[in-house]
């Protein structure tokens, strides 16, 4: 037991030195071997399959949201994983999962697509319904024991015979506003209607990549329960009203941050972590979640045809508390790890949407049974509205 503890400590010290830039990957790898740590580490960090993958040099293709999120994953998860296993993670940015699904369906295969930073339950079900899911061997992902039950259960209901993904982070889509031009009092008074303030015409933004996001806010602006919309015509009328005030619909988190930082827009719905990143950079951007604001959880989804052993090893590595906490602090979204099991530093506890109970009872998530069934019809409506219809 003492040797295992010592091995883990030595590994963590070497990893910290590499993370601080005190050594390169080649030196890190050599010191791991010289110290005999390949088989001595606990938690599956360097299992036998990882040693085999090191020799084979397996490549894993990862697709995610870009910007500060990708930077946090690369620095705190992918680079250390590559050094520890010899595998290579090739990461790319998408504007949304729909573009990946379109490519995969057109190609008729998942070649070049292995792991997605998946947008929660509704998109998880969509990948499953299209037959692109896998079944993870959870015995190879022991760190899943620390993931919040509240985050795992919704996915188990969709695939009770085995998960195709591991929950990784969560956040909210609230409203960001520049405090130089919009007061806190006005923002709180208007709530979701702040996005329809005619005084801010030409300084309002919105996410154009997801019809359901526009519909959710249209529901809030018409005083409807977003998970039980009765009047879709009223929803899309609000979307038209918003469209006529918008300077630009942004397509990625990086573009959202750029528009706010350069003060091209003063108000927009926004992802909580991106606003936290702007605040950390010193920009005068405030954030609020209106009543019934949209919460979401993200997973690391493994697509059909991926090298499963290597993918499972990466997921377990990413769920290691040290790694997951570092990524959470870097990307500004709380980790999926249960804070009642894994103590979270103050930096993570201060993030928007962080739930110290690990139950997520205070957050409102999209109900896939309600939203996926109307997607075909309502997404066409959004396309028409966006084009001026």
CA dihedral 355, 356, 357, 359 (to 10 degrees): 20
**DSSP track, 179-200:** TTTS-HHHHHHHGGGGGG-GGG
Q: Which residues pair with 207 in a beta bridge?
A: 250
Mean pLDDT on 44-55 = 46
Mean pLDDT score across all residues of the chain: 88
Q: What is the DSSP letter of 303?
A: P
Please report the pLDDT score of residue 38 as a whole number.
40
Q: What is the DSSP letter of 299?
A: E
Residue 297: both structure tokens together = 């959880």
Q: Given the DSSP bridges, would you call strands 204-207 and 294-302 parallel, antiparallel or unpaired?
A: unpaired
Rounded CA separation 145/43 (Å): 11
Confidence class of residue 231 from pLDDT cuts 50, 70 and 90? very high
Closest CA to 127 of 385, 306, 345: 306
pLDDT (tens digit, 9 = 90+) per residue, 6-47? 555 555 555 555 444 444 444 444 454 444 444 344 444 444
Please report the pLDDT score of residue 381 as a whole number.
96
Rounded CA separation 287/352 (Å): 9
Per cent of the chain over pLDDT 70 is 86
Tell me which residue has tokens 């930096």: 347
pLDDT (tens digit, 9 = 90+) per residue, 58-72? 999 999 988 889 999
Per cent of the chain over pLDDT 90 is 78
Tell me which residue has tokens 């030196």: 27
All structural domains of the chain, each given as residue ranges with its CATH number in brackets, are 2-170+297-362 (3.40.190.10), 172-295+365-386 (3.40.190.10)
Residues 6+ apart with CB under 8 A from 83: 15, 18, 25, 28, 29
pLDDT tops 70 at residue 288: yes
321: left (phi over 0), alpha (psi -120 to 50) or beta: alpha
Residue 264: both structure tokens together = 């091209």
Task: Report the alpha-carbon angle 314-319-325, nearest 5.
Answer: 125
pLDDT (tens digit, 9 = 90+) per residue, 72-128? 999 999 999 999 999 999 999 987 898 999 999 999 999 999 999 999 899 999 999
Please report the pLDDT score of residue 48 as a whole number.
46
Closest CA to 314 of 68, 100, 80: 80
| Contact yes or no for 256/271 (Cβ under 8 A) | yes
Please report the pLDDT score of residue 209 as a whole number.
83
Mean pLDDT on 138-153 = 97
Please report the pLDDT score of residue 389 as a whole number.
87
pLDDT tops 90 at residue 266: yes
Confidence class of residue 314 from pLDDT cuts 50, 70 and 90? very high
């Amino acid at each position: 037991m003492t040797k295992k503890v010592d091995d883990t400590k030595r590994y963590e010290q070497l990893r910290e030195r590499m993370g601080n830039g005190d050594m390169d990957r080649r030196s890190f790898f050599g010191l791991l071997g010289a110290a005999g740590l390949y088989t001595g580490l606990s938690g599956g960090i360097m299992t036998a399959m990882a040693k085999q993958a090191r020799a084979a040099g397996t490549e894993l293709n990862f697709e995610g949201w870009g910007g500060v999120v990708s930077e946090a994953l690369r620095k705190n998860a992918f680079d250390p994983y590559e050094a520890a296993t010899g595998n290579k993670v090739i990461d790319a940015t998408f504007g949304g999962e729909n573009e990946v699904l379109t490519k995969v369906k057109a190609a008729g295969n998942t070649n070049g697509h292995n792991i997605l930073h998946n947008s929660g339950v509704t998109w998880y079900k969509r990948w499953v319904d299209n037959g692109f899911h896998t079944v993870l061997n959870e015995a190879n992902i022991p760190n899943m024991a620390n993931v919040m039950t509240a985050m795992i259960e919704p996915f188990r209901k969709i695939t009770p015979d085995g998960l195709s993904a591991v929950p990784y982070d969560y956040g909210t889509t609230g409203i960001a506003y520049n405090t130089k031009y919009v007061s806190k009092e006005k923002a709180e008074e208007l709530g979701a209607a702040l996005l329809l303030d005619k005084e801010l015409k030409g300084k309002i933004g919105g996410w154009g990549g997801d019809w359901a996001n526009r519909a959710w806010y249209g529901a809030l602006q018409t005083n409807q329960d977003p998970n039980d919309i009765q009047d879709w015509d009223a929803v899309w009328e609000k979307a038209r009203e918003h469209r006529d005030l918008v300077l630009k619909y942004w397509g990625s988190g990086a573009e959202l941050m750029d528009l706010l930082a350069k003060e091209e827009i003063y108000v927009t719905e926004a992802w909580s972590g991106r606003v936290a990143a702007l605040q950390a950079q010193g920009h005068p951007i405030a954030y609020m979640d209106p009543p019934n604001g949209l919460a979401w959880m993200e997973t690391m989804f493994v697509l059909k045809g991926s090298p499963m052993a290597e993918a499972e090893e990466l997921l377990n590595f990413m769920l290691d508390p040290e790694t997951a906490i570092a990524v959470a602090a870097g990307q500004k979204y709380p980790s999926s790890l249960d804070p009642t099991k894994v103590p979270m530093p103050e930096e993570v506890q201060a993030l928007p949407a962080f739930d110290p109970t690990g139950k997520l009872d205070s957050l409102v998530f999209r109900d896939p049974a309600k939203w996926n069934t109307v997607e075909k019809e309502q997404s066409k409506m959004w396309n028409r509205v966006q084009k001026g219809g």
